[in-house]
Amino acid sequence: MRMIFKAAMVGLLTVACAACSQHPSQATAQQPAPAATAAAAAASTAKAATTAQPATVEVTANTPPMTRLPDWAVPELYDLALKSDPDQSDYSGTVTIAVDLKQASNYLWLHGKDLKVSKVTVTDANGKVQTGTYDGAVTPAAAKAGVARVEFGTTLQPQKITLKFAFTAPYNQTLQGYYKVVSGGNAYLMTQMEPISARLAFPCFDEPGFKAPLTLSLTIPEADKAVANAPEASDKPASKGWKTITFQQTKPLPTYLYAWLVGPWDIVNGPTIPPDPWRSTPVPLRGIAVKGKGYELKRALAMAPAIIEHEEAYYGFGYPFGKLDLAALPDFSAGAMENAGLITYRDFLLQLTPDASPSQVRSVFNVEAHEMAHQWTGDTVTLEWWNDIWLNEAFATWMQQKVEGEIHPDWHAHLGRIEGAQGAMQSDSLASARMIRQPITGNGDIMTAFDGITYQKGAAVIGMFENFVGPKVFQKGMRAYIQAHKFGNADANDLVNAIATAAGKGEAFKAAFKSFLNQNGVPLVETKLDCNPKGGAVLDLTQSRYLPLGSKGSLDRLWGIPVCVRFPSGVQCQMLSRKTGTMKVDGSTCPAWYMPNANGDGYYRFEMAKADRAALAKAISQRDDGEQLAYTDSISAAFQRGDLDADEVLAEMRALAPSKVGQIALAPLGTVRWIYQHEAQTPAQKATVRDAVAKAYLPRLEDLGYQRRSGESADDVLMRSRLASALGLEFKVPQVRAALLKQGEAALAPGKDGLPDLGAANPDLLTTVLSVAVEEKGKPAVDELMAAIPKTSNPVKRNAMLRALGHAQGAEADVARSFALNPAVKVGEMDMLLFGGRETVAQRNQLWSWFTSHYDKILARTDVFSGALPMVAAAGSCSDSEAQRLEAFFKPKLGTIPGLKRGLAQTDERILLCSALKAHQNPASITQ
């Protein structure tokens, strides 16, 4: 699953982000085996905490299981039949569940929420039928969590039984379970079950460890269409005006992967994926979109065959789900969802027009590669429990980057992985950061597990160990893992053991890998070169935990770190599993320089002795792109620790800005943006920062111009877009704003249809030019966009207008935020309106006043996202007083919203760290 709403919130909280890359060396562990003891102990302790129940509460008929269901009742097969009309507000159905009852009992626990169950039938192994009862409100807490009790009416011995439920339920209103969306005047039904929303759709065992095949029948209006995980088996008339579509039985799947769609969908054929060495039959490929939009799926569908073929070749395992449908949904809580055989996406992540920007094309490709990778890691092999969601998401992120690099090497996928890792480090530097394998104590921990720690940190850790053992060895381990657990479940131990076996590694290696899974935090490797004429050069290594200035995080951390260092003579790697270690430098001469994170592949930060850093600084422009990104991250990390001042950061910016690689050239701007917004306190200081940025980057933007040019590279298009946004919106360079405003005014002028003539602007800059126009023109621009959005169906144009409204100023900012509560704005679009207007204290105070006065309405619309509401209210804040008011408002609400506790803790900590850094930095250091 790709998360977008929460990612937007986290992005606002990032002080700075740099980058790190892949390195192909064959690794050798030179540290003695006993050095891993501390890491192994940490891994063992954390694993025990991860796998244990949060409390030793005996589950009885009167004590609902609030984390995991008992393992003595196991579903083996579902037969689900629904009667469903998109034009109605609810639906009815029956579900028959074959259950293996492993102990004598007169009841069992399963999941169901907001369901009206009218009848329960229990059939034993001999065919004897009993009437059972369903209780979805054993306790208030159980009702809220969706835990229900089924009583058999008699005690049954261990045997195979069948449960049949007749029920009705409303279509969900917050994009969960089985929900309804009206688009273009037509009603559509769709599902989103992950992580724990299948229980909203039908009674079930809603946990990933319970995998069972599904047979689905949908009785729907005869004019509508339906698709599901499996191919259609039959389509027969039912009663007048209705038909029943039955689908083939699926392979064993957890309930969070069950999916179906109903409505007047466009269904278009894509290119068939031909047989290959891993699969003997072709895979039919189709696209699904709302009525009249199917033609916009052609480009996205054309990308799919190559992606599937590359992933099959890596795993040595053919795509296993028979057919593949890609569906563009008109509203969706996630970015995309990997349902087996029926992958669902936000509409703008599949619908590509001929003039789509390179950034949109790349986004579509990468989201497809991510979700298709899940067909192996997630769907074929499924996590046993939610503490191992990284086995799904981290591996899909890692594979997505691998496939991107193979099919589109000019897209710099390795730099994307590094940037993702460094973004994760911003969150992982918090004392309140999650572990990759975070213990699950309740539904809130499940809901908050889909974050940068799971996705980007997880992918970076995988990549680091892949490079340490070697890509071919790692692939051998992954193939063995998939084969051993296909159509079943696995946990972290299964994966780590498979890689260790393939690499011929023992317990020390396993402990090192797990040391990154079972504790939070970012390792800091301090290095000092010692050139001893007698013994040869050695590099002294010391590990600790990286913590930003003001952090109260524990220093009690020890990792098994695969440290890879580049010297002029080549790359050397070894495992650092103790507090200190030494690396003997190959060769007889003292190296002129070294890079502590070769290719930027390591998930760690580094700090070099002063003389060593000065030597690297002279050579860094000659290093590869990944190492340059790792170097830029060391700058932002040092600034956040209070070790660099603003003047030093601006000097590094000037040195890196000329790089031809956009990611490197722009990397310092995250830290410079923080200086501009929080440290520069006077107009003169802000002007100094603005002028420094303009001097470093404006000539490049002017060379690129503000319009597309025939034959220009995609990198140039992306650089133009990034520079225009940074200089025009973030640093407010006057001449850039003037050029963008000119396009923005043209785009706001009425076109032939009476709506804004958005085609008058460069489509790559549309969001930026509209945002500048909203900031400069105020109410007229806001009113025009608010009037146009309900009449606009194109998702890219809607997104541009909505994001522009997020830049409304003064009283219009509250008007735009209130528009987010209007049904004309989809639930999945709200974040575009709610995250602007927070650069200054005055803007944040205005936002706070609006948020607190509209809290109940926001909560009602954002149910699936509610744990992140502290970020909506206070992201970007930077004072102790702002932290205090946030705590005072949300602490009384902690028991009412799943995930709120973590959302509050992390937002509060970020604010306090920002405040501490602001107090430490001296604005007088901002000089020309």
- Segment 485-511 mean pLDDT: 98
- Segment 369-383 mean pLDDT: 98
Question: How many residues are there in the chain?
Answer: 928
Predicted local confidence at residue 28, as pLDDT: 30
Predicted local confidence at residue 865, as pLDDT: 66
Assess contact for 318 and 724: CB atoms under 8 A: no
Assess contact for 266 and 256: CB atoms under 8 A: no
- Segment 719-733 mean pLDDT: 98
- Segment 163-183 mean pLDDT: 97
429 pLDDT above the threshold of 50: yes
Could you read off the pLDDT of 377-394 as tens digits, one per residue?
999 999 999 999 999 999
d(CA 128, CA 116) in angstroms, rounded, equals 25
Q: Residue 612 phi/psi, 5° resolution?
A: -65, -40
Integer-rounded Cα radius of gyration of the chain = 28
- Segment 692-698 mean pLDDT: 98
11 pLDDT above the threshold of 70: no
d(CA 710, CA 728) in angstroms, rounded, equals 24
* Residue 2 pLDDT class (50, 70, 90 cuts): low
In percent, how much of the chain has pLDDT > 90? 90
Residue of 175, 263, 262 whose CA lies nearest to 216: 262
- Segment 281-298 mean pLDDT: 97
* Residue 439 pLDDT class (50, 70, 90 cuts): very high
Residue of 562, 557, 566 whose CA lies nearest to 631: 566
DSSP E strands in 802-886: the ranges are: none
886 pLDDT above the threshold of 50: yes
Range name among 71-80, 308-317, 859-868, 891-900 with the lowest pLDDT average: 859-868
d(CA 628, CA 619) in angstroms, rounded, equals 10
Could you read off the pLDDT of 763-788 as tens digits, one per residue?
999 999 999 999 999 999 999 999 99
Question: Considering the chain, what is the average pLDDT of its residues?
Answer: 93
CA 160 from centre of chain: 40
806 pLDDT above the threshold of 80: yes
Predicted local confidence at residue 15, as pLDDT: 32
- In this structure, what token pair is assigned to residue 269? 């054929």
- Segment 144-154 mean pLDDT: 97
Global pTM value: 0.94
* Three-point CA angle 707, 709, 710, nearest 5°: 150
Predicted local confidence at residue 866, as pLDDT: 77
Predicted local confidence at residue 864, as pLDDT: 60
928 pLDDT above the threshold of 80: no
751 pLDDT above the threshold of 60: yes
Assess contact for 561 and 580: CB atoms under 8 A: no
Range name among 58-62, 190-194, 446-450, 558-562 with the lowest pLDDT average: 58-62
